[in-house]
């Protein structure tokens, strides 16, 4: 019997009984709130909003793509406990906060005290610079390890971040509970927020007064670069040729003692340390300098870590990763972790920071290569960090910062804001040096204001809410609608949810007609509260003031069920008009009747995504495979005997599959 020929999408809508109606979804109550926003942007829009209205935005079961990350250099955030400031070696602390290479007093108690400020900002995950015990001597001549990347003991914490009586570098152990660290986790989780631990597997510390790579295991010395009897370190000197992959992976970066991953005792040490911190409640990991270790190490590391904690989200720092750099791409697709997206960061900095004449085309050029990644929607996006000039040291116009943050938070990827962005924090010392160079230490000023009324504080709060509310932002596909160097309009789409964004870095302009993919009718711009009429899917005579950003959200039907499978398929290599479905032996997948199979959503030509609701088959074994239609022809099924899976009886399940042909 021949297969029924199907029109892509339209015949494949999931059974209505499996989806929740929009009107019943409490999440949608956010929309009217946004539309209540007064047009006068200086007003405190959120004074009218009861805090409990926003509680729904915070849930720890959310897909990591829906998080808004905030990156804190702990020493420079807030000093909540002056008793720990002097630390084990007083020479490393500067009470006057004038010497940028000394500790200034920030600590974990300081972060706890500011958690409500951060939650109201809309931040849902905190990435903190490494917490581990550091060398207590000056390295590179005169620098203290305020950044946290010169680790001495991966199983102990930096005494300067804890309470004085909890100084575990002296007498406490890993097993000690109820430290300020444990309270931080508890307070974060109470607020449904997550902690991202910054870890370093590539190196310990550089030479400091003749001591290099002295490594401890919970206070017990286990290795020493200068007396390396058990081969814990590589001894090949500094990288001299950055094009030579072997050198990059085996030689030293700035004299940092580089671990020898071939030594299985080292691997056991680092993995056991990180598992212990995950056991203490850490939710996700940011991994330093990943390009400096071979991919097999990372594959083993991630496999072990995620076997221990399957829900731990992991992303790495491959400096200047980009879709134009095949080694970083290869790594993103095969290491098992996501990456910080330097390519997108640099494009935004060029378009809006240094005002490149190509403007928004640079941003679109990067997004056009998303299909090269298996999971572009999971890349961590940012506009600045502790290793480059702050965005405002490139362009101090606060309205341009708002455009950059607006672009960041409405595009694909998981946005990460550098601490102080919401207060326009920046120090422009040496700002005229190479803007793409490292502006350490001046990009790490002390937080000096906690104003919850700044326009950008409000923007971030609104847009992080939107990321939770509208799945098109976090999970969908991106479609360019209008582009010039100065004007950028795009939509994001997922199922029947749509987000439309228009922004203008130049002089005021009126666009005759812009296609939006929004349903016809009146819509409200989340940023200004202004109303817009959509006709035939278009906005006509759209006026964009100079440096204005318009964000219009339309949230459709959301998938809810006892068990929801978030499925991502790569490698199917589709063309415009193709449709991809999941077919299988259970009612939710159409009982092998391919006309009732579950349709996936297009993200890009390499990635299809979907949330499949399961009720009847929850907790049961199922078999499934993928199929694709092209040009109304007979479906092409995957060439395999089916993928067998025991479905969880409730909650969220993740499938990550590659098309088999």
In the complex, the residues that contact ligand NOJ under the rule CB under 6 A are 147, 149, 200, 288-289, 317, 386-387
Residue 69: CB minimum distance to ligand NOJ, A: 15
Q: Which residue is nearest to ligand NOJ (CB)?
A: 149
DSSP structure class, residue 124 = -
What's the closest the beta carbon of residue 83 comes to ligand NOJ, in angstroms? 28
Nearer to ligand NOJ, 385 or 574 (CB): 385
- Consecutive H or E run containing 540: strand 538-544
477 in Cβ contact with 492 (< 8 Å): yes
- Choose among Ca ion, ligand NOJ, none what residue 64 binds, the Cβ cut-off being 5 to 8 Å by kind: none
Cα angle 316, 314, 363; round to 5 = 55
Q: Which is nearer to ligand NOJ, 80 or 130 (CB)?
A: 130
| Binding partner of residue 288 among Ca ion, ligand NOJ, none, CB cut-off 5 to 8 Å per kind | ligand NOJ
Q: How far is the CB of 280 from Ca ion (least distance, A)?
A: 21
Query: 489 to each of 315, 474, 509, how far by Cα in Å?
Result: 29, 17, 13
- Chain mean position to CA 619: 31
Q: Which is nearer to ligand NOJ, 254 or 543 (CB)?
A: 254
In the bound complex, what is the minimum distance in angstroms from residue 103's beta carbon to ligand NOJ? 16
Q: Segment near Ca ion (CB under 5 A), from 78-86, 326-334, 505-513, 616-624? A: 78-86
Q: Is 495 left (phi over 0), alpha (psi -120 to 50) or beta?
A: left
Residues in the chain: 661
Is residue 75 within the footprint of Ca ion (CB under 5 A)? no
Instruction: Please classify residue 571 by burial: count the beta carbons closer than 10 Å to its beta carbon, then call 0-12 exposed, 13-18 middle and 19+ buried.
Output: middle
Q: Which is nearer to ligand NOJ, 228 or 387 (CB)?
A: 387
Choose the stretch contacting Ca ion; rule: CB under 5 A; options: 85-93, 203-211, 586-594, 624-632: 85-93
> Given the complex with ligand NOJ, which of 200 and 473 has the nearer CB atom?
200
Among ligand NOJ, Ca ion, none, partner that 147 touches (CB below 5 to 8 angstroms by kind): ligand NOJ
Closest CB to Ca ion among 161 and 259? 161
Q: Which is nearer to ligand NOJ, 414 or 466 (CB)?
A: 414
Binds 149, which of ligand NOJ, Ca ion, none (CB < 5 to 8 A, cut-off by type)? ligand NOJ
Cis amide bond preceding 441, omega within 30: yes
Phi, psi of 425 (to 5 degrees): -70, 125
Q: How far apart are CA 335 and CA 454, in angstroms?
A: 40
Span from 84-92, 539-547, 621-629, 649-657 in contact with Ca ion (CB under 5 A): 84-92
Cα→Cα distances 175→161, 216, 263, 273, Å: 18, 16, 26, 12
Min dist CB 147 to ligand NOJ, Å, is 5
Q: Is 107 in the site for Ca ion (CB under 5 A)?
A: yes
87 near Ca ion, judged by CB under 5 A: no
Considering only the stretches 97-105, 144-152, 331-339, 463-471, report the one whose residues sit in contact with Ca ion under the rule CB under 5 A.
Answer: 97-105
List the beta strands (DSSP E) in 109-218: 125-128, 132-134, 151-157, 194-199, 215-217
**Biggest CA pair distance of the chain:** 83
Give the separation between CA 561 and CA 613, rounded to whole angstroms.
5
Of 67 and 288, the one with the shorter C-beta distance to ligand NOJ is 288
Residue 27: name the closest of 52, 56, 51 by CA. 56
Residues 6+ apart with CB under 8 A from 266: 223, 232, 259, 260
Contacted entry of ligand NOJ, Ca ion, none for residue 410, CB cut-off 5 to 8 Å set by kind: none
Give 451's DSSP letter.
Answer: -
Residue from 45, 67, 75, 79 touching Ca ion (CB under 5 A): that is 79
Contact pick of 14, 87, 105, 406 for Ca ion (by CB under 5 A): 105
Cα separation, 322 vs 384, whole angstroms: 15
Taking the complex as a whole, how short is the minimal distance between the CB of residue 440 and ligand NOJ, in angstroms? 7
Answer with the entry of ligand NOJ, Ca ion, none that 387 interacts with (C-beta below 5 to 8 A by kind): ligand NOJ
Cα 349 from Cα 394, distance rounded (Å): 8
Distances (CA, A) of 474 to 427, 433, 469: 32, 36, 9
Instruction: State which residue, 134 or 179, has the beta carbon closest to ligand NOJ.
Output: 134
Could you say which of ligand NOJ, Ca ion, none residue 468 binds, taking C-beta under 5 to 8 angstroms by partner kind?
A: none
Query: Which region, judged by CB under 5 A, interacts with Ca ion, from 101-109, 229-237, 275-283, 401-409?
Result: 101-109
Under the binding rule (CB under 5 A), the answer on residue 81 touching Ca ion is: yes
Partner from ligand NOJ, Ca ion, none contacting 107, C-beta within 5 to 8 A by type: Ca ion
Task: With CB under 5 A as the rule, give the number of residues binding Ca ion.
Answer: 6
* Minimum distance from residue 107 beta carbon to Ca ion (Å): 4
Q: Please state the closest distance from residue 611 (CB atom) to Ca ion, in A.
A: 44
Least distance CB 403 / Ca ion (angstroms): 36
Sign of CA dihedral 186, 188, 190, 193: negative
What does the alpha-carbon distance between residue 408 and residue 417 come to, in Å, rounded to a whole number? Answer: 9
Q: Select from 72-80, 135-143, 338-346, 447-455 the region that touches Ca ion (CB under 5 A).
A: 72-80
Is there a contact between 504 and 544 (Cβ–Cβ < 8 Å)?
Answer: yes
User: What DSSP string describes 231-242?
Assistant: --B----B---T
Q: Which of 155, 256, 270, 250 is nearest to 203 (CA)?
A: 256
Q: What are phi and psi of 282, to 5 degrees?
A: -60, 140
Q: List the catalytic residues.
A: 288, 317
Please pick, from the candidates 66, 85, 478, 607, the single residue that binds Ca ion as defined by CB under 5 A. Answer: 85
Give 202 or 606: the residue with its C-beta nearer to ligand NOJ: 202
200 binds, among ligand NOJ, Ca ion, none (CB under 5 to 8 A by kind): ligand NOJ
Position 517 contacts Ca ion (CB under 5 A): no
Q: Which does 84 bind (CB under 5 to 8 A by kind): ligand NOJ, Ca ion, none?
A: Ca ion
Q: How far apart are CA 321 and CA 639, in angstroms?
A: 34
Helices (H) and strands (E) in the chain, counts: 14, 31
55 three-state secondary structure: helix
Residues binding Ca ion (CB under 5 A): 79, 81, 84-85, 105, 107
């Amino acid at each position: 019997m021949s297969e029924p020929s199907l029109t892509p999408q339209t015949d494949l809508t999931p059974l209505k009984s499996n989806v929740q109606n929009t009107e019943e979804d409490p999440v949608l109550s956010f929309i009217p709130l946004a539309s209540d926003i007064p047009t006068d942007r200086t007003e405190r829009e959120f004074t009218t909003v009861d805090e409990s209205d926003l509680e729904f935005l915070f849930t720890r079961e959310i897909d990591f793509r829906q998080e808004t990350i905030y990156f804190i250099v702990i020493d420079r955030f807030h000093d909540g406990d002056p008793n720990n400031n002097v630390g084990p070696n007083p020479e490393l602390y500067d009470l006057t906060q004038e010497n940028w290479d000394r500790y200034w007093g920030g600590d974990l108690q300081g972060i706890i005290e500011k958690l409500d400020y951060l939650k109201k900002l809309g931040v849902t995950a905190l990435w903190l610079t490494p917490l581990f015990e550091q060398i207590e001597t000056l390295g590179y001549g005169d620098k203290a390890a305020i950044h946290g990347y010169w680790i001495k003991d991966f199983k102990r914490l930096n005494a300067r971040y804890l309470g004085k009586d909890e100084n575990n570098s002296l007498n406490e152990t890993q097993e000690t509970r109820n430290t300020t660290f444990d309270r931080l986790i508890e307070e974060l989780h109470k607020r449904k927020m997550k902690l991202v631990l910054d870890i370093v597997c590539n190196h310990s510390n550089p030479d400091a007064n003749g001591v290099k790579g002295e490594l401890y295991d919970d206070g017990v010395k286990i290795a020493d670069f200068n007396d390396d009897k058990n081969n814990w370190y590589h001894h090949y000197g500094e990288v001299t040729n950055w094009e030579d992959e072997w050198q990059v992976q085996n030689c030293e970066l700035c004299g940092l003692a580089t671990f020898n991953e071939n030594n299985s005792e080292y691997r056991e040490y680092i993995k056991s340390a990180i598992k212990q911190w995950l056991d203490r409640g850490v939710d996700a990991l940011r991994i330093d300098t990943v390009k400096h270790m071979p991919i097999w190490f990372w594959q083993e590391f991630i496999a072990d870590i995620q076997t221990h904690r399957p829900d731990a989200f992991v992303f790495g720092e491959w400096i200047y990763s980009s879709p134009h750099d095949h080694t970083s791409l290869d790594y993103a697709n095969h290491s098992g972790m996501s990456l910080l997206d330097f390519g997108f960061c640099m494009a935004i900095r060029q378009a809006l920071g240094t005002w490149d004449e190509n403007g928004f085309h640079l941003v679109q050029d990067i997004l056009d290569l998303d299909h090269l990644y298996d999971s572009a929607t999971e890349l961590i996006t940012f506009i600045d960090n502790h290793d480059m000039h702050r965005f405002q040291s490139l362009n101090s116009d606060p309205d341009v910062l708002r455009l950059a943050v607006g672009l960041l938070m409405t595009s694909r990827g998981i946005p990460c804001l550098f601490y102080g962005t919401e207060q326009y924090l920046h120090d422009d010392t040496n700002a005229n040096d190479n803007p793409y160079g490292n502006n350490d230490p001046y990009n790490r000023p002390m937080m000096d204001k906690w104003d919850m009324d700044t326009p950008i504080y409000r923007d971030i709060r609104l847009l992080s809410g939107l990321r939770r509310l509208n799945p098109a932002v976090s999970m969908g596909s991106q479609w360019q609608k209008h582009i010039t160097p100065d004007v950028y309009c795009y939509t994001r789409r997922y199922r029947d949810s749509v987000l439309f964004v228009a922004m203008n870095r130049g002089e005021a302009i009126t666009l005759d007609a812009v296609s939006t993919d929004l349903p016809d009718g009146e819509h409200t711009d989340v940023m200004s509260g202004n109303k817009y009429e959509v006709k035939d899917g278009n906005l006509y005579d759209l006026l964009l003031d100079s440096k204005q950003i318009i964000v219009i959200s339309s949230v459709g039907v959301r998938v809810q069920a006892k068990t929801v499978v978030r499925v991502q398929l790569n490698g199917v290599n589709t063309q415009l008009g193709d449709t991809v479905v999941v077919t299988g032996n259970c009612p939710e997948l159409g009982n092998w009747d391919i006309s009732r199979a579950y349709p996936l959503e297009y993200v890009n030509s390499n990635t299809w995504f979907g949330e499949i609701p399961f009720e009847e088959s929850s907790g049961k074994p199922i078999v499934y495979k993928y199929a694709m239609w092209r040009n109304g022809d007979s479906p092409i099924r995957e060439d395999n005997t089916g993928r067998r899976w025991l479905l969880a009886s409730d909650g969220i399940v993740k499938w990550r599959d590659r098309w088999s042909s």
